[in-house]
Amino acid sequence: MVLKQLELQNFRLHKNTSLNFSDKLNLIIGGNGQGKTTILEAIYYLCTTKNLILASESDVVSLNENFFDTKGNFADLTNDESRVFYDSTKNKKSVFLNDKQITNSAEIIGKFPIVSLIQSDHAITLGAPADRRKFVDSVISQVSKTYLEILIEYNKILRQRSVILWKLKENYDKNLLDELDAWTVSLINAGTEIIKYRISFVNDFNKYLLKSYSQIVENLETPKIIYNTVSENIDSIKENFIDNINSAHNDELRRAMNLVGPHRDDFLFFINDLELKRFGSQGQHKTFQIALRFGQFYYIKDKLGKTPIFLMDDVFGELDTYRSEKISQHLNEIGQSFITMTDFSRVEELNLSKESNIIKVENGKTKIIN
Amino acid sequence: MLIAEPLQKAIDELSKLPSIGKKTAQRLAIHILKDDKESVESLINSLRDLKEKIKLCNECFNIATEDKCDVCKSNKRDRSIICVVEDPSDVISIEKTNEYNGLYHVLGGVLNPLAGVTVEKLKIKELLERVKNEEVKEIILALNPDAEGDATSLYLTKILKEAHIKVTRIARGLPIGGDLEFADSATIGRAFIGRIEL
């Protein structure tokens, strides 16, 4: 699947921008604050209806305007037009697919698969367990709507159960304890399904990670993800889950918190059996983050049978020449990609093919130079 | 904005109703205003009757015009089975099937601690009383298959099993008559997880 054309109106610095893209690599070059990442942001909206950098919609509207509008033409087996329109006077976002309004964003998600490598990705390897869970959950959700649904339900059960825990802390009584038991069983049932999905995902994904990693680094390093949960054995998840929640019972009541379940799990990253978080160098972290995103790309491509669009925001500045060259080789092979860069001096490293497109961005104005 | 006060008041009241927005409320209010006196009287009376003549069955808490609802009054129903539902509209849905010949028990909601609905807010104590007093052999739980409905079913199962009553639960999965190809992927996914051995 490729994005053929993009239109932006009142979208940050882009008052009125219209662009045609290459089916291969699209390089977006410009100084800081000129509107490079904005183009990625718009593409991400069209594919997911969400903001790439978690900014609020009202911040995306150009100064002194009251709406933004973005349209994209995608070509796959058929041609589809996706459009996201936001009215800041009503704080209302409307999404259209081929001119028909979409009310459930799930209808769009997965239709235009997308993978993004952005600055905040450093949190995946350097940040808290929640950042790693978010990465894993987002990848599985892109290929399984069932997983997404169970995850939403599980989060609801967590909130309900914590209300009961709070009440028990205030006022301990037997009836409330029975009520807690009901929510505990729900929690275990939904939680067990989540853990099963995650275990099989990690088993599968490690192969993709290894392949992507080996394409970026020269020496023989073996990356690996280990899922740290209630049980490694798929048959004893429920049993262990029940045991753990029983032994945490008093702690849960004392702290009025859900202390056991997949919402507390972590994913540990290893290179050659050494934990990345403790022993990894800056460069290894960066490489690992990139390999995770390339792994995600191939994983989604295999599972959905569609080639995702790849976004890469200002990543080359942090990489040495060797890895930049490796990555650009990769990018030439994978399909359509959009890459932002601050200066022309490093373009040579990218071995651009004839099909590549270079877009220069200056203060919200674009120019195609080939 | 200058709108005659009675009209504005009617619009405001109507827009409080579920799925009625400001515009629809305005259209309805104008329609009622233009309508002839008899039909408006009839509408007013039907609404008043709804509030004055309809009460809840003191047995199962279904909608009734007397102390007991039509199902509880009937001598053709199997009094050994009770089907537990969330609200009276579920009774209507199940009655339409003509498949069920037992009694009902309307809980008046499901457990939802976030919204402040706990055990004592529901007709659960009353259900236990019925189970003790009557010749009940089976309880069928027919609650919605979401997080709150499931937790309520689990809670009821626990306390009813303590009272040594057979508890069953309606199946969840794919709709009958609907083709597999038309079901949404999440429903099919859940049906796979809940598959049964034959």
pLDDT of B151-166, one tens digit each?
A: 999 999 999 988 888 9
**DSSP code for B174:** P
Give the residue on B whose Cα is nearest the Cα of A177.
B155
Inter-chain CB proximity A179 and B114 less than 8 Å: no
CATH 3.40.50.150 fits A1-113+306-370, yes or no: no
H helical segments located in A9-144: 36-48, 57-60, 122-126, 129-143
Mutating which of A153, A186, A193, A242 best tests the B interface, going by the most B Cβ atoms within 10 A? A186
Alpha-carbon distance of B68 to B83, in angstroms, equals 16
Of residues B112, B113, B147, nearest to A153 (C-beta): B147
CATH 3.40.920.10 given to domain B5-53: no
Does residue B177 have a pLDDT over 70?
A: no
Identify whether the C-beta of residue B136 lies closer than 8 Å to the C-beta of residue B165: yes
CA of B118 vs chain A CAs: smallest distance (Å): 8
Closest C-alpha to A192, from A233, A145, A142, A224: A233
* Residue B194 contacts A where some CB pair is shorter than 8 Å: no
Smallest CA–CA separation between B153 and chain A, in Å? 8
Q: How far is A74 from chain B (nearest CA, A)?
A: 23
List beta partners, residue A330: none
Taking CB atoms and an 8 Å cut-off, how many pairs form between chains A and B? 72
B135: helix, strand or coil:
coil
Interface test with A, best of B120, B148, B150, B159 (most A CBs within 10 A): B150
Q: How far apart are CA A208 and CA A296, in angstroms?
A: 8
What is the block-wise mean pLDDT of chain A (370 residues), using blocks of 10 residues?
95 94 92 92 94 92 94 92 94 93 80 91 94 95 89 95 93 88 95 95 96 85 94 90 95 95 96 92 91 95 92 84 82 88 78 83 85
Is A11 within 8 Å of A44 (Cβ atoms)?
A: no
Packed helices A145-170 and A129-143: angle between N→C axes, nearest 10 degrees:
140
Residues 6+ apart with CB under 8 A from B52: none
What is the β-pairing status of strands B81-85 and B138-141? parallel
pLDDT digits (tens, 9 = 90+) for B43-82: 999 999 888 888 899 999 999 999 999 999 999 999 999 9
Give B121→chain A minimum CA distance, Å. Answer: 13
Q: How far apart are CA A339 and CA A359, in angstroms?
A: 10
Intervals of CATH 1.10.8.420 along chain B: 5-53
Please, are residues B165 and B139 in contact by the beta-carbon 8 Å criterion? Answer: yes
DSSP state of A23: S
Token digits of residue B100: 């069920």
Chain A residues within 8 A of B193 when measuring between CB atoms: 146, 193
Q: How far is CA A119 from CA A33, A212, A338, B40, in A?
A: 15, 19, 15, 65
Does A33 carry a binding-site annotation? Answer: yes
Which amino acid belongs to residue A297? F
| pLDDT reported for residue A138 | 92
Cα angle B182, B185, B189 (rounded to 5 degrees) comes to: 125
Instruction: Tell me the β-bridge partners of A228.
Output: A266
Rounded to 10 deg, the angle between the A174-216 and A237-247 helix axes is 130
Nearest to A184 by CA among A264, A228, A249, A137: A249
Cα–Cα dist A154/A262, whole Å: 9
Question: CA-CA distance, B180 to A328, in Å (whole number)?
Answer: 44
Joined together, the tokens standing for residue B6 give: 């009675």
Q: Do B119 and A149 touch (CB under 8 A)?
A: no
For residue A98, CA distances in Å to A80, A92, A94, A150, A246 come to: 6, 19, 13, 30, 52
- Residues A257 and A162: their CA atoms lie apart, in Å, by 6
Q: For A158-220, what is the HEC assignment?
A: HHHHHHHHHHHHHCCCHHHHHHHHHHHHHHHHHHHHHHHHHHHHHHHHHHHHHHHHHHHCCCC
**Alpha helix ranges (H) inside chain A:** 36-48, 57-60, 122-126, 129-143, 145-170, 174-216, 237-247, 249-255, 276-279, 282-304, 321-334
Q: Is A36 annotated as a binding residue?
A: yes
Q: Please, where in chain B does CATH 3.40.1360.10 lie?
A: 75-169
The whole-number pLDDT of residue B46 equals 93
Which chain B residues are Cβ-neighbours of A150 within 8 angstroms? 190
In A, which residues are within 8 Å of B155 by CB distance? 178-179, 181-182
- Rounded distance, CA A330 to CA A320, Å? 16
Residues of B in Cβ contact (< 8 Å) with A237: none
A interface with B, Cβ–Cβ below 8 Å: 144-150, 153, 156-157, 159-161, 163-164, 167, 175-176, 178-179, 181-183, 185-186, 189-190, 193
Domain boundaries, chain A: 1-113+306-370, 125-302
Q: Is A32 annotated as a binding residue?
A: yes
Assess if CATH 3.40.1360.10 describes domain B75-169. Answer: yes
Report domain A125-302's class. mainly alpha
Residues in contact with A351: Cβ distance below 8 Å, sequence separation at least 6, in sequence order: A325, A328, A329, A332
- Put simply, the answer to whether B111 touches A144 (Cβ < 8 Å) is no
Please indicate whether residue A334 or residue B32 has the higher confidence score (pLDDT): B32
At residue B134 the predicted structure's pLDDT band, cuts being 50, 70 and 90, is: low
Using an 8 Å CB-CB cutoff, list chain A residues near B151: 157, 160, 182-183, 185-186
- Please answer yes or no on whether B152 and A153 come within 8 Å at the CB atom: no
Percentage above 90 pLDDT, chain B: 63
Within 10 angstroms of residue B147's Cβ, the number of other Cβ atoms is: 25
- Contact present, A47 and A108 (Cβ < 8 Å): yes
**Band of residue B3 on the pLDDT scale cut at 50, 70, 90:** confident
Name the nearest CA neighbour of A69 among A55, A56, A83, A58: A83
Chain A residues with beta carbon closer than 8 angstroms to that of B154 = 181-182, 185-186
How far does the CA of residue A64 sit from the closest CA of chain B (Å)?
Answer: 28
Structure tokens that stand for B16 in this block: 């409080």
Residue A37 is assigned to a ligand binding site = yes
Q: What is the pLDDT of residues B92-107, one digit of tens each?
A: 999 998 889 999 999 9
Collapsing DSSP to helix, strand or coil, A267 comes out as strand
Q: Are A297 and A310 in contact (CB under 8 A)?
A: yes
Contacts of A146 in chain B (CB under 8 A): 185-186, 188-190, 192-193
Cβ separation of A148 and B154 shorter than 8 Å? no
pLDDT of residue A69: 96
Tell me the ipTM for this assembly: 0.72
- Residues forming beta bridges with residue B169, ordered by sequence position: B141
Maximum alpha-carbon separation in chain B: 69
Q: Say which of B114, B118, B154 has its CB closest to residue A186.
A: B154
Confidence band of B172 (pLDDT split at 50, 70, 90): confident
How many angstroms away from the CA of B189 is the closest CA of chain A?
A: 5
* Residue A364 is assigned to a ligand binding site: no
**Number of residues in chain B:** 198
Closest chain A C-alpha to B192 CA, distance in angstroms? 10
Mean pLDDT over B28-54 rounds to 92
Partner-chain contact B113 A164, CB within 8 Å: yes
Alpha carbons A201 and A154: distance in angstroms, whole number: 18
List own/partner pairs for A343-347 with CB under 8 A and 24 or more apart: A343/A29, A344/A29, A346/A316, A347/A27, A347/A29
Closest chain B residue to A192 measured between Cα atoms? B193
- Structural element, H or E, at residue A116: strand A114-117
Of B114, B155, B189, the CB nearest to A159: B114
- Looking at residue A23, its pLDDT comes to 92
Query: What stretch of H or E contains A228?
Result: strand A223-228
User: In chain B, which residue's Cα lies nearest the Cα of A145?
Assistant: B186
